[in-house]
Structure 1
Amino acid sequence: MTPETLAEKVLSATRTVFADLGLDTAVLPDKTAVERPRNPEHGDYASNIALQVAKKAGANPRELAAGIAAKLAETDGVSKADIAGPGFLNITLDAAAAGEIAGRVIAAGTAYGYNTSMEGVNANLEFVSANPTGPIHAGGTRWAAMGDALARVMRASGAKVTSEYYVNDAGAQIDHFAASLLARAKDEPTPENGYVGAYIDEIAADVLKRRPEALEADDALDIFRTVGLELMLDDIKATLADFGTHFDVFFSEKSLHDKGELEVAVDRLAKLGHVYEADGATWLRTTTFGDDKDRVLKNSKGAWTYFASDCAYYLDKRERGFGKLVFMLGADHHGYVGRMQAISQAFGDEPGTMEILIGQFVNLLRDGEPIRLSKRAGNVVTLNDIVDAVGIDATRYALTRYSADSTIDLDIDLWTKHSSDNPVYYVQYAHARISGVLRNAAERSAERGGAYDASLLTHPREVDLALALAEFPAVVAAAADLREPHRVARYAEDLAAAYHRFQHDCRILPYPDEEFTETGRARLWLADATRVVIANSLAMLGVSAPERM
């Protein structure tokens, strides 16, 4: 029995009690939920529905809970329902109801955990979006892992998600990038505000390989700008692909200018009454919508600002049909939240149309000391530096294991350990351990077969593991709804721990001189179901599930 199924039974029992007592059922919620109590002695699940609705119905909560408990005790799959405190319900499932989850998991396979909680949502999820003037740094690496994981859990929850990388290929930073490449190609000093690092030398050399005549051309700077940007983007795309991060769209900021979308956006805002002229510049009155000051759209020299591009980009997304826009920004972008939300409201959109997630910094450590410099980028730690140090799986897991608003100290010594101290190793080892059990079972002809007796799974470790498996769809739904993929990682660790306890206390395969029992068969189903859920959890984080370690 899943928590969702039990919650429906609790609500059904409550409706029956209301009808018996002549209470107004209109006060009842459309849905309710059950939770796992911290103390296993309090049952498998708990519900506070009696406390929620008693006052509205004019009933005593403990008496109402007693009536609901009595109805639940008559329900298939419920062993008992007790009352605690002022009206809490503690519910214990019978063994068959708890253990049957293994069959559900195996039947669903890779689809187990998928749910419909975000069905109908059409979301644009933008993340990383680092300037295409250098390799992806540590902060961008965090979003590359977390953004990709968030896209996965949102899709698993029924949302249609387009993952997007916004290429800032217009503006002064691209001019500085091109000038830096040209200077290095001429073996000249880096210009003021230029970019340094071995990668600049590499790209400058590659530009000359493609365009040997570039240095002598009248439009040399334009050549280095165009070809250099293409090469840098190719490098970024290859790095992200190797890291397992997929983008559906790479959107060019320059295309907004080329298509006249800035003019369209500002005209739309003007017609809505939010644009004005002052000091020779064009402004958007963002203070109307809570921003700390109004923002310039076109400066006194007649040049569009980056903020005007933001407005056009927002409108472009909405015109493409996205009803939910999620922006994942770095720790240095806190000041953008107010102005970005003001753009959404200025266009007349409802609160919540735009969401902005701010991620904190990543510190790479070795022997407890920070690692600051990259061999290639010169002054930052890059995605490739982190991957070279700890590997793709460990990097992705480490960066999705924590909430976005927490700073991460990524300790190389910890994340490369082959021990239970390393969270990703601990979870992957559980999957490999189960895979080993299944191989041993096949070698000894102890096949799990096509059916099992769920009522045989009565050991507390078996029940705990079964209940943990049943929680997975709700964990995925919460991770998607709250934009917190780290919930999946923490769940995977708890599930791995539950499995290790189960295998320690519950023998699955017989000794060589013993026969394979039906209890062993039921345990094999439970183990295989756990393997499926661990693999599905890791897949949602973009992490592999090895069969041998």
Structure 2
Amino acid sequence: MTPTELSGALSAALAAAVADGTLQLPAEAIPASVHVERPRQREHGDWATNVALQLAKKAGTTPRALAEDLAARLGENAGIKSVDVAGPGFLNITLDAGAAGELARTIVEAGAEYGRTDSLAGQVIDLEYISANPTGPLHIGHTRWAALGDAMARILRAAGADVTAEYYINDAGAQMDRFGGSILARATGGDIPEGGYNGEYVKELAAKVLERRPDLPDLPEDEAIAVAREEGYQLQLAEIREVLEGFGVHFDVWFSERDLHESGAVEQAVDRLREQGHVFDAGGAVWLRTTDFTDDKDRVLIRANGEPTYFAADAAYYLSKKDRGFPGKIYLLGADHHGYINRLKAIAACAGDDPQQNIEVLIGQLVNVGGAKLSKRVGNIIELRDLVEWIGRDAVRYSLARYPADTPLELQGEDMLKQTNDNPVFYVQYAHSRTCAVDRNAAERGVRLEDAFDPSLLSHESESALIGRLTEYPRIVAQAAELREPHRVARYLEALAGDYHSWYNDDAKLRANPYPDEAVTDAHRTRLWLNDAVRTVLANGLDLLGVSAPERM
């Protein structure tokens, strides 16, 4: 019996109590899904619920009386061994071994679909993250959002949401002119412009630009800067795409800020916001009255000289997302963007959206990796590609995904390379590879899933603990999606790996494979189902984090 099935049985018991007059409660007050959770103490049973405490007052009875009635009704369900009433009205439910163990077959047969839910079905979300300027390589500051953003997109989709992953290319503004001027200076031996870009990567870009445009030094300065800017931009953006794909991060949309300006979308956005009644003119500039919506000051959209501000582009970009059919908009921003939260929510409100429903702004804190060498190409940062080359994609992604985004993080590079149980990614991946080794040995010894499955044989304490952990996976995925917290999946996988290793090492009698001189029994075959259920969930969870599930280590 799965948690979903148990929840349904509880709802049915409530409906039956209302139908026979035992419970004086409007039918619409009966929850379609009753929340059940694992008790903190194993001896309290497999599942617990406080539904009696929630509904007793509405029903005009005491929580304990309602709990006792529900306990009697639940006890009639096949697969439920016992139901105990605890405290003021908690229900502690114990399943019989067969009903609990059936989950192993359910998981194996579901395969990659196990854990996927429809908890966020119907939600259409634009998820924007990284959005680094295309004026240099991706570095460690972008790496955290690359890992978390991609994991979040995967988890949201697993919960049924329709998610578009989007990268906003900041390819407009003065920084692009400085970028072009820096490349031209490197190509011609001139001086880097004030506020320009240094580093070996600029020399590399300049050399490539000269290969494409050998006439660059002979062009008029303004034209040469424009050519260097465009050629360097295309080269740097191509590198960003390549590095992200190598990190396992894919974007559905690459949205150009430059297109916003060239298409007239920025001016149109100002006009649309003016129609909403939130734009005013003062001091020759055009303003958005964001103080009406919790911002600390009103924001300039168009300067007195007629030039649009970055904020105007932000407003146009928000309206673009709205126009493209995204009711939900999630922004994942860096640690230096706290001031953006209120102003982006103010844009949403000024655009006629609900800032509590239609926009979320998540801030990621800084991350530092001890022991890493600074990039030779840039000189003052750690490049993403260097970090992956040093530590490995799986270790970097997993290590970043297992902590809440709003936690400042310092990782030790050498620790992430260790092949010991102290290294979480190794611990989880080793558990998966161990399940695969069990499968290989089973094939050699003639233990086959299709020959038998008797869930009542999965009655050992370590097997019950392992099954209990497996039942939690769909809830963990749904919760991680709802709260936008991929680290919940990582921490769950570590707990599951721990339960599996304990089961594997617990008792020689619990082997999924017989000894060489031992006959194959149904117990071996049934334990192989449990082994493969663990393998399935570990693989599914690692995939949500963008981490591989190796078969051998």
Amino acid of the structure 1 residue aligned with 2:292: T
For 2:424, the equivalent position in structure 1 comes to 423
Summarize the Cα distance change of 1:534–1:407 in structure 2 as closer, same or farther, 3 Å threshold. Answer: same
Which structure 2 residues correspond to residues 450-461 of structure 1 after superposition, within 5 A? 451-461=452-462
Query: 1:214, 1:526 → 2: CA distance?
Result: 66
**Residue 356 of structure 1, aligned match among 352, 358, 361:** 361
Give per-residue Cα distances to partners, 1:481-517, cap 9 Å, x unaligned: 1111111111111111111111112222111111111
Query: 1:45, 1:96 → 2: CA distance?
Result: 15
1:183 aligns with 2:188: no
TM-score, scaled relative to structure 2 = 0.97
1:9 aligns with 2:9: yes
Contact 1:397 1:489 in 2 (8 A): yes
Summarize the Cα distance change of 1:39–1:306 in structure 2 as closer, same or farther, 3 Å threshold. Answer: same
Contact 1:27 1:57 in 2 (8 A): no
Q: Identify which range, 215-224 or 13-22, moves more after superposition.
A: 13-22
1:87 aligns with 2:89: yes
For 2:530, the equivalent position in structure 1 comes to 526
Give per-residue Cα distances to partners, 1:26-78, cap 9 Å, x unaligned: 43333221000111011011100011111222211111111111111111111
Query: 1:297, 1:492 → 2: CA distance?
Result: 47
Which structure 2 residues correspond to residues 170-319 of structure 1 after superposition, within 5 A? 170-218=172-220, 219-319=223-323
Query: 2:23, 2:248 → 1: CA distance?
Result: 58
For 1:54, the equivalent position in structure 2 comes to 56
Give 1:272 deviation, angstroms: 0.8
Contact 1:372 1:379 in 2 (8 A): no
Give 1:138 deviation, angstroms: 1.2
1:74 aligns with 2:76: yes
**Residue 143 of structure 1, aligned match among 119, 142, 145:** 145
Q: Tell me, what secondary structure is at the counterpart of 2:526? A: helix
Amino acid of the structure 1 residue aligned with 2:38: R
1:335 aligns with 2:339: yes
For 1:365, the equivalent position in structure 2 comes to 370
Q: Identify which range, 19-28 or 8-17, moves more after superposition.
A: 19-28
Q: Tell me, what secondary structure is at the counterpart of 1:154? A: helix
Give 1:207 deviation, angstroms: 0.5
Contact 1:4 1:33 in 2 (8 A): no
Query: 2:330, 2:102 → 1: CA distance?
Result: 38
Query: 2:427, 2:167 → 1: CA distance?
Result: 33
Contact 2:123 2:161 in 1 (8 A): yes
CA RMSD of aligned residues (A): 1.2
Query: 2:189, 2:471 → 1: CA distance?
Result: 63
Contact 2:8 2:32 in 1 (8 A): no
Give 1:183 deviation, angstroms: 1.0
Give per-residue Cα distances to partners, 1:151-173, cap 9 Å, x unaligned: 11111111111100000000011
For 2:128, the equivalent position in structure 1 comes to 126
Q: Identify which range, 308-317 or 101-110, moves more after superposition.
A: 101-110
Q: Identify which range, 451-460 or 126-135, moves more after superposition.
A: 451-460
Aligned pairs, number: 545
Give 1:22 deviation, angstroms: 4.0
Give 1:23 deviation, angstroms: 1.1
Query: 1:319, 1:75 → 2: CA distance?
Result: 51
Query: 2:144, 2:114 → 1: CA distance?
Result: 27
Query: 1:71, 1:377 → 2: CA distance?
Result: 69
Q: Tell me, what secondary structure is at the counterpart of 2:332? A: strand
Query: 1:450, 1:273 → 2: CA distance?
Result: 72
Give per-residue Cα distances to partners, 1:223-257, cap 9 Å, x unaligned: 00100000000010000000000001110000001
Percent identity at matched positions?
54
Amino acid of the structure 1 residue aligned with 2:214: P
- Structure 2: state its 5+ residue gaps: none
Summarize the Cα distance change of 1:450–1:204 in structure 2 as closer, same or farther, 3 Å threshold. Answer: farther
Which structure 2 residues correspond to residues 405-424 of structure 1 after superposition, within 5 A? 405-424=406-425
Query: 1:12, 1:406 → 2: CA distance?
Result: 43
Write out the 4+ residue segments of structure 1 that deviate beyond 6 Å after TM superposition.
none
Query: 1:215, 1:480 → 2: CA distance?
Result: 53
Query: 1:381, 1:315 → 2: CA distance?
Result: 35
For 1:376, the equivalent position in structure 2 comes to 377
Contact 1:427 1:496 in 2 (8 A): yes
